[in-house]
């Protein structure tokens, strides 16, 4: 497989449609969860779509979050002073993985490894940023770009290679 033939994580996941199903399913779970509901009780109705756009951009999709919603700096600023706990961070991951399974996001080891690596990194960063002092400014905070994490990209069974 040539490098130009390797799909982005965004493409492999199923694009905007799949990521919107993921975040819609996930935030439905969050609002019924005693650990996370207090954090998201007052989220806007379009919060799931904003998170889908952010993940999509990080995974190689359109730059719609950067162009219209403040980019990575904007995402960081949404977490400042939220005082997220380790229990909340871990529960967030658990419910997101449950949602990914429920909507049948690809479950091949390469995709899920890259997906989980980003979710682990991103939730740790969100927790750190949420505990920064008022007035914290992350500066330009470039948008992260996540890839397969292994040379050559996804595993394709011989019938698809």
Domains of the chain: 8-130 (1.10.490.10)
Q: Which residue has the tokens 């359109």?
A: 62
Give this prediction's pTM: 0.85
Closest by alpha carbon to 111, among 1, 44, 14?
14
Tens digits of residue pLDDT in 52-63:
999 999 999 999
pLDDT digits over 111-154, tens only? 999 999 999 999 998 888 888 767 777 677 788 899 997 555 55
Supply 140's token pair. 């330009």
Tell me how far CA of residue 86 lies from CA of 4, 53, 92, in angstroms: 39, 25, 10
Rounded CA separation 86/69 (Å): 27
């Amino acid at each position: 497989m040539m490098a130009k033939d390797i799909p982005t994580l965004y493409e492999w996941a199923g694009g905007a449609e799949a990521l919107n199903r993921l975040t819609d399913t996930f935030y439905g779970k969050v609002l019924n969860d005693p650990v996370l509901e207090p954090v998201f009780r007052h989220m806007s109705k379009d919060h799931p779509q904003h998170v889908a756009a952010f993940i999509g951009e990080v995974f190689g999709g359109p730059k719609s979050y950067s162009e219209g919603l403040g980019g990575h700096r904007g995402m960081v600023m949404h977490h400042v002073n939220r005082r997220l706990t380790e229990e909340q961070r871990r529960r967030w991951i658990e419910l997101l993985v449950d949602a990914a399974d429920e909507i049948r996001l690809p479950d091949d080891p390469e995709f899920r490894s890259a997906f989980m690596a980003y979710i682990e990194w991103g939730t740790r960063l969100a927790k750190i940023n949420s505990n920064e002092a008022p007035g914290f400014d992350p500066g330009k905070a470039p948008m992260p770009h996540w890839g397969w994490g292994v040379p050559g990209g996804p595993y394709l069974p011989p019938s698809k290679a």
